[in-house]
Amino acid sequence: MSDLALYIDAFRTSPYALSAFAALEELGVPYELVEVSLADGEHRLPSYAALTGRIPALVHRGAAPGGADLWLAESQAIDEYLAELFPPPAHPRLYPEDRVERAIARQIQAWLRSDLMPLREERSTPTFWYGIPRAPLSEDGIAARDTLARAASTWLGDRTQLFEHWCIADVDLAIMLRRVLHDDLPAPLAHYVEMQLTRPAIVKWDAHERPPFRRY
């Protein structure tokens, strides 16, 4: 049994679970993947020991004080923990080596998790992972899409990744842009998304056979 276990939603529609999943896949370290049914409330059972009760959660067995298991929720915290736990050169780099670029990557991750609510509501990830029909974007949705496109275009320029070398923030940005891939997204950003979707970790995530979707 691996020392690491990643708890994700059984429908695999959480972009945050994908971020943590991609981090582990990119690092190439052994881990156990545990699916939790949010629709059945399994994240509220006593056995799910993440204090926030949220998905994803990383369990690092024996890593907490006294040899207890460390339960770590919040995907950005998981990404950063894994980056420190498995540093280069022994492992691939998850965050840029340059301090300024690393700060920008963390800024992008934090922003995508805390803003752009109209896109998260009107273009939820089941719209592309389950093909759930979408209504046209509202005025708020259009404004959020335009804000996202302006920021992403500035960060990316003419590149197909944020920096010279890929980083975990590329997963988060690409999945947010994927929400509006068919909503008049500028061609360079659409190309960025399409290139990021060829990343082996995302291909593996997309190819997983999902159970019938139930709202929760």
Residue 1: the pLDDT is 63
- Residue 172: name the closest of 116, 92, 130 by CA: 116
Which amino acid would we find at residue 83? Answer: A
Residue 50: the pLDDT is 84
- Provide the β-strand partners of residue 35: 8
- State what percent of residues in the chain have pLDDT above 90: 83
Q: List domains and CATH numbers for the chain.
A: 4-92 (3.40.30.10), 99-199 (1.20.1050.10)
Contact 152, 177 (CB under 8 A): yes
What are the pLDDT tens digits along the chain (216 aa)? 689 999 999 999 999 999 999 999 999 999 999 999 888 888 888 888 888 888 999 999 988 899 998 999 999 999 999 999 999 999 999 999 999 999 999 999 999 999 999 999 999 999 999 998 889 999 999 999 999 999 999 999 999 999 999 999 999 999 999 999 999 999 999 999 999 999 999 999 999 999 998 887
Which amino acid would we find at residue 169? Answer: A
Report how far residue 171's alpha carbon sits from residue 76's, in angstroms, rounded to the nearest whole number: 12
